[in-house]
Each structure stands twice: as structure tokens, then as C-alpha cells.
């Protein structure tokens, strides 16, 4: 895998998509973010007022703003210059300032310029699966965190949602009652090359997803000195599904599309 080339292609694509992404998420994230990602990340993070938090792959800053609103001192970075420009444009006078940087999460040395031991916690949501190598990120994270620091992530669930699942809808007539059933079909889990996916409905360009099995994902963190001490698997509920018809995650209330976890330095 040509990591450098794929990463540069990713940066160009995210710059192209930045306006779309910024509109999709607004100030505090879309439904996927607000219903699945943010609640699990906040639960695992157990944020204390005044803590220094770094958000990696911050997009338009939706989570960074939320954390700042909860009293954290937030630094956030993304490799897309356009997304950082749009994140800064959403600065509000009624929220504490977020310090934004344009940085590449595959560049360990660049990340370390933020300051060793400076952060109480790191967050990284829906970004690990978009990066061709995550070893430098975890190595840098281990050094950026102070003693007892925690790293809270949310990513596409490796078992159900990072391997191009096929959405299935079936109609059943049982005892005179017609009902719809929804499912996902998984054809492969172990060895999958990077594949392009269309992202959120309407995204202007597909980008690469890097599927990692659960063991590959966690092994990268363990190798950098982390241990896992919290795990959540959020799914939509019947209330979300009632609002959305058809083949989408809102109708799959028994299958979690997101995996959120908390890592701590061992």
C-alpha cells in the first residue's frame, strides 16, 4: 500500500468535500453524530472542567465545540486546510475558543509539535478508518498525553460497518400481517484492501476507507502502550427508525454501526 500517495489523495478529497461536510454537520453534528457518536464519546471521556483535550481529525469542529462548551480547553487538528478554515469560521463568542491546527495524523513528528504530555485526553471520532496508517497516530498520542491520559475513539464498527455491508430488506406476510425486515450482509471481514465508499448520502466524492479487524485496530493501540478499558456499541433505536424508511442504519436497531472505546496508557 502506497501510504503517502493514498494519504495525499485523501487530503485532496477532503478539501473538495469540506463545504458539503461543514453544511452536513453544522455547529454540533448530524443525527449520526448526535445520536451515536457524541453520547458514547462523552460517556467514555467523563470530562472534567478545565481539562486539556486534543481532537484528532476534527472535521468542521463539531465535537471540539461541544467539548469547549462543556468547559474543556480544546485543541483540534485536521489535515484538510479547507475544513480547518470552515471550523474557524464557526467560532462563536459564547463558546470558549478552540485552538485549530492543520496537521497530518500520519506524521508523528508533526503531531508531537503540539507538546509532549500536554493533554489530559484525546478524542478521535470517525477518523481512524479514513487514515491509511494508524501506528504513528497512536505512538504520538501516547506521548502527547500526560500520566493517566485517556484516548477516546469512535469508528465504524469493524464487524458490521467498515467492510462494505450490503443492506437487505425483506417483506414477510405472516398470519396475514405484512412486515418489513432489515439486515446487513457481510461478505468479508479478515482481509480487505482499502475501498472507496460514498460516505454520507450526497457527498460530492467517494473516499478510501481502511478496514481493520478488531484485533488490528486494537493491536496498533496496544503496541503504543495503551490498554482498553471501555467499549460501547451504539445503535439507533425504534424512535429513530420510525422517522426513516428504507435501507439505512436507523432501521437496524439491533446492529451497531459505531464502535466507541476508551484507551488508557498502561
Binding mask 7-36 for ligand SAM (x = CB under 6 A): x--x---x----------x-------x---
Residue placing its CB nearer to ligand SAM in the complex, 52 or 126: 126
Take residue 191 and report the three cell numbers written for it: 482481509
> Based on the number of CB atoms within 10 Å of its own CB, is 42 exposed (0-12), middle (13-18) or buried (19 or more)?
middle
Query: Does the footprint of ligand SAM cover residue 98 (CB under 6 A)?
Result: no
**Residue that is written with C-alpha cell 428504507 in the block:** 246
Provide, rounded to whole angstroms, the least separation between the CB of residue 28 and ligand SAM. Answer: 10
Q: In whole angstroms, what is the distance from residue 160 CA to residue 143 CA?
A: 32
Q: Are 231 and 256 in contact (CB under 8 A)?
A: no
Sort residue 198 into left (φ over 0), alpha (ψ -120 to 50) or beta: alpha
Residue 195 Cα to chain centre, angstroms: 17
13: Cα within 13 Å, side-chain hemisphere = 19
Query: Does the footprint of ligand SAM cover residue 156 (CB under 6 A)?
Result: no
Buried-state track 171-205, b at ≥16 Cβ within 10 A, e below 16:
eeeeeeeeeeebebeeeeeeebeeeeeebeeebee
Query: Does the footprint of ligand SAM cover residue 79 (CB under 6 A)?
Result: yes
**DSSP state letter for 188:** -
Total binding residues toward ligand SAM, as defined by CB under 6 A: 23
Residue placing its CB nearer to ligand SAM in the complex, 37 or 45: 37
Provide, rounded to whole angstroms, the least separation between the CB of residue 185 and ligand SAM. Answer: 24
Q: Are 18 and 82 in contact (CB under 8 A)?
A: yes
Query: Does the footprint of ligand SAM cover residue 130 (CB under 6 A)?
Result: yes
Query: Does the footprint of ligand SAM cover residue 83 (CB under 6 A)?
Result: yes
- Part in contact with ligand SAM (CB under 6 A); list of ranges 54-62, 210-218, 220-228, 251-259: 54-62
Residue placing its CB nearer to ligand SAM in the complex, 32 or 182: 32
Take residue 80 and report the three cell numbers written for it: 484538510
- Part in contact with ligand SAM (CB under 6 A); list of ranges 122-130, 145-153, 156-164, 170-178: 122-130
* Nearest residue to ligand SAM, scored by beta-carbon proximity: 59
- Part in contact with ligand SAM (CB under 6 A); list of ranges 58-66, 158-166, 179-187, 214-222: 58-66
User: What separation in angstroms does the CA of 175 have from each of 178, 181, 206, 216, 232?
Assistant: 8, 16, 44, 46, 37
Residue placing its CB nearer to ligand SAM in the complex, 105 or 121: 105
Provide, rounded to whole angstroms, the least separation between the CB of residue 202 and ligand SAM. Answer: 14
By the criterion CB under 6 A, which residues form the site for ligand SAM? 7, 10, 14, 25, 33, 37, 57-59, 62-63, 78-80, 83, 104-106, 125-127, 130-131
Amino acid at each position: 500500500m502506497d501510504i503517502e500517495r493514498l494519504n495525499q489523495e485523501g487530503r485532496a478529497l477532503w478539501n473538495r468535500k469540506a463545504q458539503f461536510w461543514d453544511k452536513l454537520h453544522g455547529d454540533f453534528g448530524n443525527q449520526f453524530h448526535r445520536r451515536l457518536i457524541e453520547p458514547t464519546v462523552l460517556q467514555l471521556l467523563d470530562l472534567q472542567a478545565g481539562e486539556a483535550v486534543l481532537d484528532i481529525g476534527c472535521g468542521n469542529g463539531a465535537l471540539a465545540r461541544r467539548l469547549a462548551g462543556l468547559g474543556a480547553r480544546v485543541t483540534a487538528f485536521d489535515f484538510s486546510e479547507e475544513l480547518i478554515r470552515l471550523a474557524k469560521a464557526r467560532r462563536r463568542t459564547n463558546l470558549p475558543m478552540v485552538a485549530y491546527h492543520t496537521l497530518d495524523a500520519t506524521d508523528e513528528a508533526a503531531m508531537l509539535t503540539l507538546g509532549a504530555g500536554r493533554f489530559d485526553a484525546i478524542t478521535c471520532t470517525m477518523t481512524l478508518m479514513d487514515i491509511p496508517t494508524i501506528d504513528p497516530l497512536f505512538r504520538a498520542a501516547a506521548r502527547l498525553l500526560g500520566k493517566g491520559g485517556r484516548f477516546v475513539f469512535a469508528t465504524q464498527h469493524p464487524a458490521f460497518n467498515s467492510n462494505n455491508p450490503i443492506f437487505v430488506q425483506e417483506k414477510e406476510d405472516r398470519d396475514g400481517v405484512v412486515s418489513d425486515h432489515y439486515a446487513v450482509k457481510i461478505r468479508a471481514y479478515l482481509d480487505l484492501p482499502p475501498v472507496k465508499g460514498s460516505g454520507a448520502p450526497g457527498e460530492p466524492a467517494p473516499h478510501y476507507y481502511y478496514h481493520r479487524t478488531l484485533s488490528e485496530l486494537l493491536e496498533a493501540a496496544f503496541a503504543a502502550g495503551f490498554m482498553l478499558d471501555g467499549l460501547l456499541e451504539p445503535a439507533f433505536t425504534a424512535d429513530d427508525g420510525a422517522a426513516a424508511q428504507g435501507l439505512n442504519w436507523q432501521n437496524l436497531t439491533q446492529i451497531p454501526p459505531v464502535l466507541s472505546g476508551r484507551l488508557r496508557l498502561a
